Homo-oligomer: A and B are copies of this chain.
Amino acid sequence: MVPEESAAGRVTRSLRQRLLTGELKPGAPLSQSRIAAEYGVSRMPARDALQVLAAEGLVDLDAFTAVVRGLSITELQELYELREAVEPVLTRIAVPNVGRAEVAQMTTLIEGMESNPPAVDWLAANATFHALVYSRADRARMIELTEQLRRLTDRYVYLHVGVFGDTDHIHEEHRQILHAVRNGDAAGAAELTRLHIATSHEFILRYLLEHEHMPLGHGKGNRATQSR
């Protein structure tokens, strides 16, 4: 039974990618007709895609015509606050269930990250590293929320920063987390995870405040799951 991805699914994934990489810039209008023409489909799959992406917070449907949604600094902060609240919980729940297989994979990922410069696939490896822990928590909803939040913050990172803080420090934090996880220290791993997120939060916030391009737009219109 092959998935047989629908046209709407294709458009959704492609648009999401283009939004996350910044090819589609905040404020740009997203007309159903234009998207439909671009992908050689009718307006309906385009419409579906926009609705899904709006629910994910990447698109704003409040305007007359849908627009690429930007992140204000307040919203970025909000996303990190949510991550700091949720991911430690996930860690604490997951740690008792993490086995040797995950630890081995995490070790491999760490080594890969330490020998490669930070880039797009570095971000992916980083995401996988943490997701490996979370996957053992049996908390589907939290995991989904976490992935969504991570996507949104990562977007901000490699759109406007592209620079990473003290990578040695990041690697050190990863090693500490892995150590706590291996020892079954749930509370310790949770707190280390919180600190890990807080660190990059502070770094990015400081970076953005210094380089005050005020780069992304006007964080208005937050009713993402609205039905117009």
Contact = CB atoms under 8 A, between A and B. Distances in A.
B57 A141 contact: yes
Interface in A63-104: 74-75, 78-79, 81-82, 85-86, 89, 93
A140 B82 CA distance: 12
A187 interface: no
A8 interface: yes
Contact of A225 (B55, B85, B93): B55
A191 to B, nearest CB: 14
Interface of A: 6, 8-9, 12-13, 48-49, 51-52, 55-57, 74-75, 78-79, 81-82, 85-86, 89, 93, 138-142, 144-145, 148, 222-225, 227-228
B227 A141 contact: no
Nearest to A77: B139
**Which 6 pairs across A and B sit closest by C-beta, in order of nearness?**
A140-B222, A55-B55, A85-B85, A9-B227, A12-B227, A52-B227
A130 to B, nearest CB: 16
Contacts of A13: 227
B141 A228 contact: no
**Max count, chain B CB within 10 A of own CB: residue among A79, A89, A223, A227:** A227
Contacts of A93: 81
Contacts of A148: 225
Contacts of A51: 48, 51-52
B52 A52 contact: no
B56 A225 contact: yes
A186 to B, nearest CB: 14
A227 B85 CA distance: 28
Given A140-B222, A144-B225, 9 more contacts: A8-B227, A9-B228, A49-B227, A52-B225, A79-B141, A81-B139, A82-B145, A85-B86, A144-B223
